[in-house]
Structure formats: C-alpha cells, structure tokens
C-alpha cells in the first residue's frame, strides 16, 4: 500500500478569544489524501475551510495534531523550510489571485521560479502553461489589462510553474460567473490530469465540488 501524499492527523485549531476556552475552529480533523486525487472541501462561511487550507499550505499552524506531506512532517519545520516546501511542492491559488501589478502575465507566472533562479526551461514552461490556460496572446499584458477570469488563470499557471505535487485552491471560482467557473474547473482538472498532481479545492460551489473525487463538508470544525 502506497503512503498518502498528504496526511492530517487530529488537526485542531483554536484562536484566542475573550472567553477562557478560546474559539475552536477545527476539531480533531484527520484526513489522508493520495497523489493525484481531487478533493473538495465545502461548508458554510466561517466554518474554517480556509483555515484548514492554510494549514495544509503551511500558511498557518494547527494548535494540535500533525501534518505530513510526502512523508515529511510539516509541523516542526522552520519558516525557511516551509518556504522551500511551498515553493517546490505546493501550488496555491487564492480567490483574490494577488498578481504583481508591476509584472506582465508571463512574468507573474515566473515569479515563483525566481526563488531558485529560473532557467530558460522555466520561461518555456511558463509560456506553455499560459497557452494551456488560454492566454497565449496575453503574455505581455499586465494585471490591469486582464479580466478577472484571465487574472485567475494566470494565478493558476503561476501555482503550477514549479510542478507542485499539491495544488491548493481557495474559492477559485468565487469571483467568476457560472461559465467562467466551469471553464476554471475544467482547467484545474485538466492540470490535475496532465501534471499528475493532487488538487484540493475549498469552495462554496456545489457544481465544482461534484467534479472532485471526494467531497468533504466542514461542519462544526469537523470533516464530514
């Protein structure tokens, strides 16, 4: 039996609050995700979906429990080590996509590769990714010259540039209309197949969630 790509064991997250106990957002979450799987996490607003995704992406640390990626524990890593993991193994897509305004589409995709000094190969790959996401003609356009959907696609290409084994997307379709959301879902799944990477999506969208291999709902801090 192959070991899971991502494993969460008894993850809990409590935020300090005025009352003595604090605000417990996540309770004892255990989850195993295999390589190449697609997973959707749904739940009402404030249920802790993004917190869970941030913990998976090492952007946040759990109060309790353990987290391993590809057999490596992420809890005990330093900030620098986590940064390396995020750069090499994890791709992140944010709802607000956060493109650098001073860079064009191609350059935005290349930004993660700067961490380890990108090669010519990275430039080719960035072009290819942008072609794959349908932006072959918009390589030199800056964020201000792209639509929201196009910006999101640039963000997806950026997330994939370093061939991560895990792609985490937080409400990727939140700012898109239905057709746009469908196209983005197609794109993510296509990438999942082509790049053989694991995809975890936090979303409110039932239609997007249905297209994933597994769907979890986060209720009262627990995955159901």
Q: Which is nearer to another protein, 159 or 176 (CB)?
A: 159
Full 3-state SS string of the chain: CCCCCEEEEEEEEEECCCCCCCEEEEEEEEEEECCCCEEEEECCCCCCHHHHHHHHCCCCCCCEEEEEECCEECCCCCHHHHHHHHHHHEEEECCCCCCCCCCCHHHHHHHHHHHHCCCHHHHHHHHHHHHHCCCHHHCCCCHHHCCHHHHHHHHHHHHHCCCCCEEEEECCCCCCCHHHHHHHHHHHHHHHHHHCCEEEEECCCHHHHHCCCEEEEEECCEEC
92 binds another protein (CB under 8 A): yes
Please report how many Cα atoms fall inside a 13 Å half-sphere around the Cα of residue 102, on the Cβ side.
Answer: 1
Q: How far is the CB of 129 from another protein (least distance, A)?
A: 14
114 binds another protein (CB under 8 A): yes
The gap from C-alpha 217 to its chain's centroid, in whole angstroms, comes to: 17
Within 60-89, the residues that bind another protein by CB under 8 A are 60, 79-80, 83-88
Residue 17 interacting with another protein (CB under 8 A): no
- By CB under 8 A, name the one of 38, 162, 192, 205 that touches another protein: 162
Told to check if 173 binds another protein by CB under 8 A, we report: no
Quick one: which segment of 4-12, 35-43, 46-54, 193-201 binds another protein (CB under 8 A)?
46-54
Residue 35 vs 59, nearer CB to another protein: 59
Considering only the stretches 41-49, 95-103, 146-154, 202-210, report the one whose residues sit in contact with another protein under the rule CB under 8 A.
95-103
Collect all residues with Cβ–Cβ distance below 8 Å to 221 and sequence separation of at least 6.
Answer: 12, 13, 24, 25, 26, 27, 29, 47, 48
User: Per CB under 8 A, does 221 bind another protein?
Assistant: no
Does 95 participate in binding another protein (rule CB under 8 A)? yes
Q: Based on the shown chain and the rule CB under 8 A, indicate whether residue 213 belongs to the binding site for another protein.
A: no
Minimum separation from the CB atom of position 193 to another protein (A): 23
Interface segment toward another protein; rule CB under 8 A; list 22-30, 31-39, 53-61, 131-139: 53-61
Footprint of another protein (CB under 8 A) = 50-51, 54, 57, 59-60, 79-80, 83-88, 92, 94-96, 98, 100-103, 107, 110-112, 114-115, 117-118, 142-145, 158-159, 162
């Amino acid at each position: 039996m192959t070991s899971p790509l991502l494993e969460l064991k008894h993850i809990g997250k409590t935020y300090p609050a005025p009352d003595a106990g604090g605000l417990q957002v996540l309770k004892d979450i255990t989850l195993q995700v295999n390589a190449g799987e697609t997973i959707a996490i749904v739940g009402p607003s404030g249920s802790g979906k993004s917190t869970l995704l941030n913990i998976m992406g090492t952007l946040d640390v759990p109060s309790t429990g353990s987290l391993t990626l590809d057999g490596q524990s992420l809890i005990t890593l330093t900030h620098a080590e986590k940064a390396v993991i995020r750069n090499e193994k994890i791709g992140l897509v944010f709802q607000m996509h956060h493109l650098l305004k001073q860079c064009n589409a191609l350059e935005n995709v290349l930004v993660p590769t700067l961490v380890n000094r990108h090669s010519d190969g990275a430039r080719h790959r960035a072009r290819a990714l942008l072609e794959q996401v349908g932006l072959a003609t918009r390589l030199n356009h800056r964020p201000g010259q792209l639509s929201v959907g196009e910006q999101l696609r640039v963000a997806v290409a950026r997330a994939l540039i370093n061939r991560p084994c895990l792609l985490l997307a937080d409400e990727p379709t939140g700012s898109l209309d239905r057709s746009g959301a469908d196209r983005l879902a197609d794109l993510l799944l296509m990438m999942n197949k082509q790049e053989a990477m694991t995809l975890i999506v936090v979303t409110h969208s039932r239609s997007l969630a249905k297209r994933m291999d597994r769907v979890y709902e986060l209720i009262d801090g627990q995955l159901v």
